[in-house]
Chains A and B, each alone.
Chain A
């Protein structure tokens, strides 16, 4: 075939590989049991060459897996070199340091053989409903308390399910049938990918995919470096203080842009916490790189080559590079602030491209009720968020997470599976950081119980002391707040009791503003007043524009 024809073939095979991993991911999402899997597409799926480098990855809902799953395959190959892998073998782990950052994520890797020859691997990750231990609570003092730890091992041995492993899993988790179902779904979705790969190889008469993978890498690396070359060269630093568990946490980053890529160093970042909000390096890399990627080259695919252009380093055993066996279950507490941290560096280098700070960590609501007498208890998690930061030309998105891509759980669904009653769920007036572009509004939810029984609230909220900051003269968003319906204040972190007959009021923070509030267009202020997004007092005080009396 001509060289020209070769490019066409490369492109067709590339798009076919992307479709294959997309099919792999969709089949996993559809079969998955955990709420985050189905509502947010909290899964990842990808195809790898024989060296364990990711050639293509499905576009899925949450950024946290993007790099972490990609890198995990190398750990599998280190443990089980290619020469020891056999057709019909499938491997599994939930090692937070070698996979995606906490025990609740199971990663499964399947080597693919063609005519007896090892040609590549498919990998996927999903979040399971439960993995035992203290569940989602960050109160464990080490990872041992956080649930069942599955080292890299075979889950299928030459076509036979590893019954001993499944038995161990079933015995250790609260929802054994669902978790086992997720394991089968992970194995099955890699098979879907493998079957698609075989078809592609048949159709194009390929014996291996490493060559085509290398070409994909070459084009991707060049495109990524082209985008990076458009950035100014230099080093910029930023610090962000967040509330933390036992003490405030400093997150520090210095971003260097040079001809080799974008390098992030987190020197100065606070030491690890006693609580499970520590973040293993793989998850830090995922979110920090995501911040760079969506600012610099949002349209380029994620693969080993584009990812390699972004490096992340952090001091040993700081909170963003926690060592084994630190507790890590709530590692998203740190991870989800990293894009904003990186943005603060880029803000100094780029004009009118960098959004203001967002709520960051999700304001998920975890409520439970104990079983007592004939009353059946429950434990539920629903996903919600405060406001996102204002953009240089656009207001921030209200009640919308960033960087997470998760979807909410409908109120009617939550109420149909629990005795909870959500009495209101509405935008929180004046919570968006004032600015030329206003920060996204937070929201308030008030929740009670139809049963005459106390509720347990598992709180781990951020931005209660340290709000989302504005940029370029924009002001901070409102901080979050938790109270009882009767007025008493609640803590933002830890387990608390909502007495029977009481409600809990959860006020979620607003996003930061962008640009000076006095530069906000008068029409926009008037519209905000009419919509009730701001009060007449705020119009006068923050924006210097009197209320229209609407």
Chain B
């Protein structure tokens, strides 16, 4: 199935949930509404013509100037059909939660935990939503958000260092 056919098929089945489909550099990226995400993913996973059985990665992008600030990105691949698709959805900062896809792809467990850890997006029905790379008691926020400073929050300057040259 070519990318165009794939997009058309999605368009037919989810006329209301689909926001846009973009093809760039030979890749298809489909943006769906947040409340239809699980439904679309289920269709991609179960439909025999789609057959996306392999989850490649779950990622997130922060767009601080947009109304719906965060973008959750899923990438799926079909090992039998040899095609791939990128599924995206937008989440506002005030209600930072999407449906978890762990019931469809088992690998989504760790990947979604990483997104939660790094970007602070929560996943509904996730079996074990905890921080994964950062310590459990880390309270300084979510490091991959654009408002998280790259060079730390200045607490390093509060330490008093011995001036070796003064002696």
Q: Do A and B bind each other?
A: no
